[in-house]
Amino acid sequence: MQGLNILLQPNVFMQLTINGVAMGMIYALMAMGLILLIRAIGVMNFAQGELLMLGAFITWGLTYQVKLPFVLMIPAAMLCFAFVGVVFMFVAYWPLRTASYPTATVISTMGAAMVIREIATITWGSLPLVSAPLVKGVVRVGSLRLQYQYLLTIAIGAVLIFLVFVLFEKLYAGRIMQAAAQDKYAAELLGIPTVLTTAATYIIVVTLASVGGYMIAPVFLVNVTLGTLQLRAFAGVVTGGFGSVKGAIVGSLFIGLVESYSSTFTTTYKDAVVFLVLIVVLLFRPQGLFGERVADKA
Amino acid sequence: MLKIANLHAYYGSIEALKGIDIEIAPGVVTCLIGSNGAGKTTLLKAISGMIRRTGSIVFDERNELIGESPTRIARRSIVHVPEGRHIFPGLSVEENLEVGTIAWHGFFGRKPYETEKRSVFDLFPRLEERRGQLGWSLSGGEQQMLAIGRALMARPKLLMLDEPSMGLAPVIVSDLFRKIVEINKLGIPILLVEQNARLALEISDFAYVLDQGRVRIEGKAKDLRTDPRVQEAYLGRFAGKTQPN
Ligand SMILES: Nc1ncnc2c1ncn2[C@@H]1O[C@H](COP(=O)(O)OP(=O)(O)O)[C@@H](O)[C@H]1O
Ligand SMILES: [Mg+2]
């Protein structure tokens, strides 16, 4: 097969690996957010891709419309992400949290996705917008040419993931958030303000996805269709075993790599390849690559 | 230290407490007994602010708790150990204890809590042995110790325990009740809810019998132990003789 021959050339292979890991990082940022929300409020968020898209638009707007310099753009963007997080929580989740149908909150995330798409289209139009890479150019390692943007994406993704782990595993505040996610009733009895911990979770989730959108903007164009990337994050979550943050990260990187390698065979059917691999994984390991079986947890 | 007057509590439109008057004296163990569905758990929830209620609950003779949120009430150091323990399954024993400090520690605080942890470990050495183990992997007795230990981390001024004996073997229960007496000797007033009336009356100073959302009988625990109405309804016919629960 010609595709395989191309893939196995060391340079091509290295480059596709870097690209795959970079894309995997973007999916991982979304996938991590999915798991955090499932844990904290028990809801699968179908607007995760739209949050990424909104992050791309917001940072584009701050850079090219408001024309903020980079050092001001970053804090301004963070404030916007936090604002989006809080609004998203109070509109799409809070009023429905006591609804008698638990699915109500899931459906409302689908509604939120549509609303975000419409808001983006009305605000920024439906034509794709061009965003310059953070650092232009390529690094040469031997005969290898690696784009800075991809390397930067990997670095920033890794730093964010590290920060989230530090928050939840090492800091008191993170411990409190975990407790509130695990047992809301007990948390409230101890005096944990669960509104605040939930809001903090939403802010983190939106920030993760939005930074993903910011990093990916120069690779693709800024467009409402960026939202469809959430399918890859779902695939990452499922591959990783649904429920563990670590699994979701590794699963997302795996999906990124599969997608990247498959581009030497086909670009038209990339989506199909990703899902074919997902199905194969699930056939042989229904609990996901890294999941424990439910029985092990009980 | 806690004075409850004409307390009503509601689940939606269902009235679960129908005018309760109770007084909890400082430093003693007060118990609430009554059959399943009498409203014991609801009363604790009404005190800790977890349910809609009307009437009056005055803490320390000046603070009206009706209208206050659970967070606010927890900050007054009123700690409710719920029925079924509700420990955090994915946190270790030590982390569960740490979370117990939130009411006085604050979200972003950096106050030390080593002293509190030390005294919990001294009271329940078993918890120290298991300090790194995750909550879900503990036995029922250990989970109950952890739930109480976590509450002690909150520096309680009033400790409310809901059915601590539930589902535990008799030997473990008598151990646990000795610990409860020990905690009370430290000067912490305790409001104990139990279906196991005999056990509760043994370690209590004062008792209330609840039935269908109302107080039916109240008095000194030692008087209630010999009260024929209590014996008949809650202690079984062989009252006076020791009876496994
Ligand atoms: N979540 C609830 N929704 C509606 N009714 C409830 C709820 N919890 C308890 N009740 C009712 O309130 C009454 C008192 O219950 P509870 O306080 O749990 O009793 P106890 O703790 O004494 O066994 C019972 O009649 C029970 O059916
Ligand atoms: Mg009860």
User: Among candidates B38, B44, B45, which has minimal Cα distance to B18?
Assistant: B38
For chain A, list residues whose CB is within 8 angstroms of any CB belonging to chain B. 172-173, 175-176, 178-179, 182-183, 185-193, 196
Identify the domain boundary among B155, B176, B200: B155
Q: Which amino acid is at B244?
A: P
B74: closest chain A residue by CA? A191
Residues B52 and B108 in one domain: no
Q: Does B110 touch chain A (CB under 8 A)?
A: yes
Candidates B70, B96, B110; nearest CB to A189 = B70
A290 φ/ψ angles, rounded to the nearest 5 degrees: -120, 5
B240 in any annotated domain? no
Determine whether the interchain pair A178/B86 forms a contact, defined as Cβ–Cβ distance below 8 Å.
Answer: no
Q: Which amino acid is at A69?
A: P
Which of B136, B155, B174 finishes a domain?
B155
Same domain, B223 and B163: yes
Among A114-118, A283-287, B194-198, the range scoring the smallest mean pLDDT is: A283-287
Provide mean pLDDT across the span A126-138: 87
Q: What is the pLDDT along chain B (245 residues), one digit of tens a residue?
A: 999 999 999 999 999 999 999 999 999 999 999 999 999 999 999 999 999 999 999 999 999 999 999 999 999 999 999 999 999 999 999 999 999 999 999 888 889 999 999 999 999 999 999 999 999 999 999 999 999 999 999 999 999 999 999 999 999 999 999 999 999 999 999 999 998 899 999 999 999 999 999 999 999 999 999 898 888 887 765 444 444 44
End-to-end C-alpha distance for chain B, whole angstroms: 32
Q: Is residue B52 included in any domain, yes or no?
A: yes
Residue B82 near chain A (CB below 8 Å): yes
Residue nearest to atom 5 of ligand 1 (CA): B11
> What is the number of other CB atoms lying within 10 angstroms of the CB of residue A262?
22
Instruction: Pick the residue of A175, A185, A190 with the most B CBs within 10 A to test the interface with B by mutation.
Output: A190
Residue B82's φ and ψ, nearest 5 degrees, are -75, 160
So what's the pLDDT on residue A294? 46
Nearest to B60 by CA among B103, B25, B8, B31: B25
Judge whether residue A258 has pLDDT over 90. Answer: yes
pLDDT for position A291 = 66
Is residue B42 located within the same domain as residue B142? no
Q: Does B48 touch chain A (CB under 8 A)?
A: yes
**Which H or E run includes A138?**
strand A138-141
Q: Which residues of A touch B12 (CB under 8 A)?
A: none
Domain end call among B99, B128, B155: B155
B105 lies in the same domain as B145: yes
* ipTM of the complex in this document: 0.92
Do residues A84 and A249 lie in contact, with contact meaning Cβ atoms separated by under 8 Å? Answer: no
Spell out which residues of chain B touch residue A186, defining contact as CB-CB under 8 Å.
82, 86-88
Is position B146 within any domain? yes
Would B81 be classed as within a structural domain?
Answer: no
Chain A: residue nearest B94 by CA?
A175
Q: With CB atoms and an 8 Å threshold, state whether B91 touches A182.
A: yes
- Over range A113-133, report the average pLDDT: 93
* Domain match, B220 and B168 both: yes
Assign A244 a pLDDT band (cuts: 50, 70, 90). Answer: confident
Q: Do A189 and B105 touch (CB under 8 A)?
A: no
Determine whether the shortest distance from the Cβ of B235 to ligand 1 is under 6 A: no
Q: Tell me, yes or no, whether B133 and B166 share the same domain.
A: no
Average of per-residue pLDDT across A140-160:
90
pLDDT for position A1: 66
Q: How far is the CA of B190 from the centre of ligand 2 (A)?
A: 17
Residue B82 · residue A185 · CB < 8 Å:
yes
Asked if residue B82 is part of any domain, the answer here is no
Residue A110 clears pLDDT 60, i.e. is over it: yes
Do B13 and B125 belong to one domain?
no
Note whether residue B167 is domain-resident.
yes
Residues of B in contact with A188 (CB under 8 A): 50, 70-71
The domain total for chain B is 2
- Which pLDDT score, from 0 to 100, does residue B237 have? 52
- Write out the E strands in chain B: 2-11, 14-24, 29-33, 52-59, 63-64, 78-81, 158-162, 190-194, 206-211, 214-220
Asked whether residue B147 falls in the same domain as residue B109, the answer is: yes
Determine the pLDDT at residue A298.
Answer: 35
> Which pLDDT score, from 0 to 100, does residue A292 have?
59
Residues B62 and B171 in one domain: yes
Instruction: Answer yes or no: do B150 and B161 share one domain.
Output: no
Assess whether pLDDT exceeds 60 at residue A33: yes
CA distances to A50, A57, A206 from A122, rounded to whole Å, are 14, 12, 21
Residue B216 sits in the same domain as residue B169: yes
Of B7, B20, B41, the residue with max ligand 1 atoms within 8 A of its CB, to mutate for a pocket test, comes to B41
- B80 and A175 within 8 Å at the Cβ level: the answer is no
d(CA B186, CA B197): 24
Tell me the C-alpha distance between A251 and A189, whole Å. 36
For chain A, which domains are there? Answer: 2-284 (1.10.3470)
- Low-confidence winner among A38-42, A209-213, A240-244 (lowest mean pLDDT): A240-244
CATH number of domain containing B178: 3.40.50.300
Q: Is residue B129 part of a domain?
A: yes
DSSP state string for A67-128: ---HHHHHHHHHHHHHHHHHHHIIIIIGGGTT-SSTHHHHHHHHHHHHHHHHHHHHHH-SS-
Structural domain boundaries enclosing B57: 2-76+157-235
Task: Work out the percent of chain A whose per-residue pLDDT is above 70.
Answer: 97
Q: Identify which of A140-149, A275-284, B176-185, B220-229 has the greatest average pLDDT.
A: B176-185
Ligand nearest to the CA of B84: 2
Does residue B41's CB lie within 6 angstroms of at least one atom of ligand 1? yes
User: Do B44 and B56 reside in the same domain of the chain?
Assistant: yes
Residue of B96, B98, B102 lying closest to A191 (CB–CB) = B102
Q: Are A148 and A135 within 8 A, CB to CB?
A: yes
pLDDT at position B185 is: 96
Please state the rounded mean pLDDT for residues A183-212.
96
Given B48, B91, B110, which is nearest A189 (Cβ)?
Answer: B48
Q: Is residue B143 part of a domain?
A: yes
Dig out the tokens for A269 from the structure.
């059917």
From the CB of B144, is ligand 1 less than 6 Å away? no
Distance from CA of B66 to the nearest CA of A (A): 16
